[in-house]
Amino acid sequence: MNPDTIRSMIEAGMPGARVAVQGDDGVHFEAQVISDDFKGKLPLARHRLVYATLGDKMGGEIHALALKTLTQEEAAAAGR
Where exactly are the structural domains of the chain?
A: 3-73
At the topology level, CATH places domain 3-73 in GMP Synthetase; Chain A, domain 3 (3.30.300)
The whole-number mean pLDDT for each consecutive block of 10 residues of the chain, a chain of 80 residues, reads 95 98 92 98 97 91 93 92
Question: What HEC string does the chain produce?
Answer: CCHHHHHHHHHHHCCCCEEEEECCCCCEEEEEEECHHHCCCCHHHHHHHHHHHHHHHECCCECEEEEEEECHHHHHHCCC
- Report field, pTM of the whole predicted structure over 0.85: yes
